[in-house]
């Protein structure tokens, strides 16, 4: 009886496909490459060019926008979109997503209403989103019943039952992954966690705010199907029962009951197959009950995770890596996690207090910086740029414009980064500063609408990028002597401004780093690390930009002078009261000010380890290699 039904269904599907797609058995079976291109909306990239050549500008804009929504990291399309916006005849309505997902449009609108306390509108859009999401889930699940797609044919069992089990397990795994597909926004890298349960959580609160306690209780009961031990929701249920009356029956939605029961049944079958027949399963849900997973499979899963972590470490870089010289610093991401080579992110290099002190110092750059004085950035007209060099900071302190402690902290913090990077990347091989720059980029509020450019275009730090030729020419005017680069962030209270790495094509994003106080990103300066900075769309982003070199003759000239000024000030501060200065050049406008405690009186967060005393920079000077 079972196989009779299977044969009937197969015959029904075959006739259905013949009527819709033709008799050829391969007409509906496309390759993985073609499916991937359509998932990434690649055809729209070609369509926008074709429509543009045909002078159908409105359709070209729609095609370009549709592609860009799913590929926001595509820098060439970003530039094309900006060009379209400047063209006469292009209307804002032309920028429409031709592949828009109804549930995502409704979800984003619902969340916006929810955040603005517009709960009546939020309820309507979130209900629409939940309905559309469940419908999209069914469409995705139906597509899972396709042909067997195991490319490794030798692993396919020849027996009838083994073959059926393997194919059916593949279908079940595909169905389970559908929730990730509907929960991933076009252009997004990862899915929204708990996409279906989050709808119910938002709805129960929104319904309670508009006075519909019955539907609020229904949504709460539905949410508890996913997380039956969630204490805040259990408390809500008690409250709803009290308001509605203890005799009032409150049940979960039928559609959600069906969703959860079916998903649990499929998970149970998949875990049984993995346990007894082999294979793996990446469970897409956070709410899967722990007791559903076989105990012996839990241990195997943990072991596989640890083994995978070990295998993914970049062994060669790990062997070359030196010790961290300061207590408390953590490596947040290494080269492997950043999909490249010679890249690393350190956290807790500075404390919050030290970041605030350095931010105070940046205010001096607005009035007495090194030539920018908050003018428009040299890289984009949409931002203002402020810069302060090490020497300028010391001169401002000498003139009494800034606190000596803040200027000294800039010198010490940058020296700390040099020691960290030297030890991590090139232990035993001396690194010198090439240039140090305290910089702030501020968004010009009135010029952010429709902005599509970058705060700093993609480039490499010691060579000239040639994306078309897939080459980077290490020749002037590039700063060919630079070996390593670093950025020490001071704040995160702005929008945009993150660092990103690309491939040699300058288009494919390989890694991103989000700024925050005390975070240091460091990388080699060559063609292996093309990088750029996303636009600062709101607020002010401040960081210390750092470049290092192995070449002693290219050591930073201004740093030597800045150190001399700092040492003179330390001598002045340590001299007993009444003792006159030796040498007229010590007389400055700051000498009449009250003494400022030197760094020994000011606790630092560095926790410097023994055996790593500061090394003086060479006094071989050269013309400053400015930013």
Q: Which of 41, 451, 540, 541 is catalytic?
A: 541
> Backbone phi, then psi, for 358, in 5-degree steps?
-70, -35
Is residue 515 classed as helix, strand or coil in its secondary structure? coil
Q: Which residues contact 581 (CB under 8 A, 6 or more apart)?
A: 572, 575, 587, 591
**C-alpha to C-alpha distance for 345 and 505, rounded to whole angstroms:** 23
Q: What would the 3-class secondary structure string for 31-99 be?
A: CHHHHHHHHCCHHHHHHHHHHHHCCCHHHHHHHHHHHHHHCCCCHHHHHHHHHHHHCCCCCHHHCCCCC
Nearest to 347 by CA among 97, 510, 518, 96: 518
Is residue 299 classed as helix, strand or coil in its secondary structure? helix
Here the tokens at position 430 are: 């001396």
Q: Which residues contact 471 (CB under 8 A, 6 or more apart)?
A: 504, 527
> Do residues 386 and 484 touch, judged by C-beta distance below 8 A?
no
Helix (H) or strand (E) holding 192: none
Q: What is the DSSP letter of 481?
A: T
Here the tokens at position 351 are: 């404390």
**C-alpha to C-alpha distance for 277 and 273, rounded to whole angstroms:** 5
Nearest to 432 by CA among 621, 153, 192: 621
| Catalytic residue check, 29 | no
Nearest to 407 by CA among 548, 596, 615: 596
Neighbours of 66 (CB within 10 A): 23
Beta bridge partners of 547: 435, 485
Region class of 205: left (phi > 0), else alpha (psi between -120 and 50), else beta: alpha
Q: Taking the CA atoms of 91, 93, 94 and 96 in sequence, report the sign of the dihedral they define.
A: positive
Catalytic residues, which ones? 541
């Amino acid at each position: 009886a079972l196989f009779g039904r299977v044969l009937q269904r197969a015959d029904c599907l075959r006739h259905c496909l013949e009527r819709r797609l033709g008799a050829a058995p391969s007409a509906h079976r496309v390759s993985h490459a073609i499916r991937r291109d359509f998932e990434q909306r690649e055809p729209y990239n070609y369509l926008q060019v074709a429509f543009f050549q045909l002078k159908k500008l409105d359709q070209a804009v729609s095609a370009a926008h549709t592609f860009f929504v799913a590929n926001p990291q595509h820098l060439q399309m970003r530039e094309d979109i900006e060009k379209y916006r400047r063209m006469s005849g292009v209307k804002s309505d032309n920028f429409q997503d031709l592949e828009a997902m109804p549930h995502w449009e409704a979800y984003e609108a619902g969340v916006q209403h929810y955040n603005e306390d517009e709960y009546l509108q939020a309820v309507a859009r979130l209900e629409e989103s939940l309905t559309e999401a469940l419908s999209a889930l069914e469409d995705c699940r139906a597509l899972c019943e396709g042909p067997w797609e195991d490319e490794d044919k030798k692993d396919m069992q020849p027996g009838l039952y083994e073959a059926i089990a393997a194919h059916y397990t593949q279908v079940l795994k595909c169905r389970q992954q559908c929730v990730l597909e509907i929960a991933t926004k076009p252009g997004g890298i990862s899915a929204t966690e708990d996409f279906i349960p989050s709808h119910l959580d938002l709805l129960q609160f929104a319904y309670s705010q508009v006075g519909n306690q019955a539907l609020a209780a229904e949504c709460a009961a539905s949410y508890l199907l996913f997380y039956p031990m969630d204490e805040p929701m259990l408390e809500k249920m008690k409250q709803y029962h009290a308001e509605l009356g203890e005799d009032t029956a409150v049940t979960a939605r039928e559609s959600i009951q069906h969703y959860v029961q079916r998903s649990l049944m499929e998970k149970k079958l998949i875990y049984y197959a993995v346990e007894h027949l082999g294979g793996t399963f990446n469970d897409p849900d956070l709410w899967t009950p722990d007791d559903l997973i076989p105990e012996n499979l839990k241990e195997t899963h943990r072991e596989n995770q640890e083994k995978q972590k070990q295998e993914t470490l970049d062994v060669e870089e790990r062997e070359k890596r030196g010790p961290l010289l300061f207590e408390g610093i953590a490596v947040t991401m290494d080269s492997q996690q950043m999909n490249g080579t010679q890249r690393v992110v350190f956290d807790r290099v500075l404390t919050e207090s030290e970041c605030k002190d350095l931010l105070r110092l940046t205010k001096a750059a607005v009035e007495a910086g090194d030539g920018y004085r908050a003018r428009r950035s040299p890289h984009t007209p949409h931002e203002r740029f402020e810069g302060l060099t090490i020497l300028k900071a010391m001169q401002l302190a000498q003139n009494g414009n800034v606190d000596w402690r803040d200027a000294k902290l800039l010198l010490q913090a940058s020296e700390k980064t040099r020691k960290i990077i030297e030890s991590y990347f090139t232990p035993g091989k001396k690194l010198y500063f090439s240039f140090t720059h305290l910089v702030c980029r501020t968004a010009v509020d009135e010029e952010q609408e429709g902005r599509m450019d970058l705060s700093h275009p993609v480039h490499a730090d010691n060579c000239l990028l040639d994306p078309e030729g897939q080459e980077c020419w290490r020749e002037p005017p590039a700063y060919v002597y630079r070996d390593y680069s670093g950025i020490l962030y001071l704040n995160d209270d702005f929008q945009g401004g993150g660092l990103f790495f690309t491939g040699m094509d300058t288009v494919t994003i390989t890694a991103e780093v989000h700024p925050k106080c005390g975070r240091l990103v460091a990388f080699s300066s060559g063609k292996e690390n093309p990088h750029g900075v996303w636009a600062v769309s709101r607020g002010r982003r401040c960081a210390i930009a750092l470049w290092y070199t192995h070449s002693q003759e290219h050591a930073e000239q201004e740093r030597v002078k800045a150190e001399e000024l700092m040492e003179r000030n330390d001598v002045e501060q340590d001299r007993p009261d009444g003792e006159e200065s030796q040498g007229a050049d010590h007389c400055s406008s700051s000498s009449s000010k009250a003494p400022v405690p030197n760094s020994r009186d000011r606790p630092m967060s560095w926790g410097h380890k023994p055996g790593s005393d500061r090394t003086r920079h060479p006094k071989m000077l050269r013309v400053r290699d400015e930013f």
